[in-house]
Structure 1
Amino acid sequence: MNTISFRQDMSIKEIGGQVQSYVNVYWKKTLDNHREEFLKAFPELEDATYGLYLDKLLPPVFESLEQSGYITIQDVKKGDFFIGQGLNFRQSMEKWGADNCRSRVFWVVIADQQKHPVGTMLFDFYHSHAGFDVPHAPQIYTLEDTERGLIVAAVKQIKEN
Structure 2
Amino acid sequence: MNSSQIVLSDNNNSDIYAIGRYIANHITENWQTLLLKNQDKLLNAFNKAGDMAYGAYCYKLFRPVHQQLKYAGLHPSPWFPGDFNISREWGNANQSDQQRWMWSTIKSNEGKALGTIVTIIFHDHTQFRLPHQPQVIALTETSKEGVVKVLSKRSTDFKNALEFQIEYAEYLHSLENEG
Instruction: Tell me, yes or no, if the aligned pair for 1:119 and 1:142 is still in contact at 8 Å.
Output: yes
Question: Does 2:69 align with 1:65?
Answer: yes
Question: Does 2:50 align with 1:46?
Answer: yes
Instruction: Tell me, yes or no, if the aligned pair for 1:123 and 1:139 is still in contact at 8 Å.
Output: yes
Q: Which residue of 1 aligns with 2:163?
A: none
Q: Which residue of 2 aligns with 1:116?
A: 112
1:103-135 CA distance string (max 9 Å, x none): 111101002222111110000110001111011
Computing the radius of gyration from Cα coordinates, the structure with the larger value is 2
Aligned AA for 2:135? Q
Instruction: Tell me, yes or no, if the aligned pair for 2:45 and 2:53 is still in contact at 8 Å.
Output: yes
Give the alignment's TM-score, normalised by structure 2.
Answer: 0.76
Provide the C-alpha distance between the structure 2 equivalents of 1:97 and 1:61, rounded to a whole number of angstroms.
Answer: 27
Displacement of 1:157 after TM fit? 2.6
Question: Does 2:22 align with 1:21?
Answer: no
Q: Which residue of 2 aligns with 1:87?
A: 82
RMSD value, Cα: 1.9
Instruction: Tell me, yes or no, if the aligned pair for 1:8 and 1:112 is still in contact at 8 Å.
Output: no
1:127-155 CA distance string (max 9 Å, x none): 00111101111111011110101111222
Q: Which residue of 2 aligns with 1:6?
A: 6
Question: Does 2:132 align with 1:136?
Answer: yes
> Where do residues 24-39 of structure 1 align in structure 2 (5 Å cutoff)?
24-39=28-43
Aligned AA for 1:139? Q
- Relative contact order: is structure 1 or structure 2 higher (C-alpha 8 Å, sep ≥ 6)? 1
Provide the C-alpha distance between the structure 2 equivalents of 1:128 and 1:67, rounded to a whole number of angstroms.
Answer: 34
Displacement of 1:7 after TM fit? 4.1
Moved more, 27-36 or 65-74: 65-74
Unaligned runs of 5+ in 1: 75-81
Provide the C-alpha distance between the structure 2 equivalents of 1:156 and 1:134, rounded to a whole number of angstroms.
Answer: 24
Instruction: Tell me, yes or no, if the aligned pair for 1:109 and 1:146 is still in contact at 8 Å.
Output: yes
Unaligned runs of 5+ in 2: 158-179
Q: Which residue of 2 aligns with 1:153?
A: 149
- Runs of 4+, deviation exceeding 4 Å: none
Provide the C-alpha distance between the structure 2 equivalents of 1:25 and 1:69, rounded to a whole number of angstroms.
Answer: 23
Give the alignment's TM-score, normalised by structure 1.
Answer: 0.84
Provide the C-alpha distance between the structure 1 equivalents of 2:82 and 2:119, rounded to a whole number of angstroms.
Answer: 9
Aligned residues: 149
Q: Which residue of 2 aligns with 1:78?
A: none
Displacement of 1:156 after TM fit? 2.5
Provide the C-alpha distance between the structure 1 equivalents of 2:112 and 2:20, rounded to a whole number of angstroms.
Answer: 17
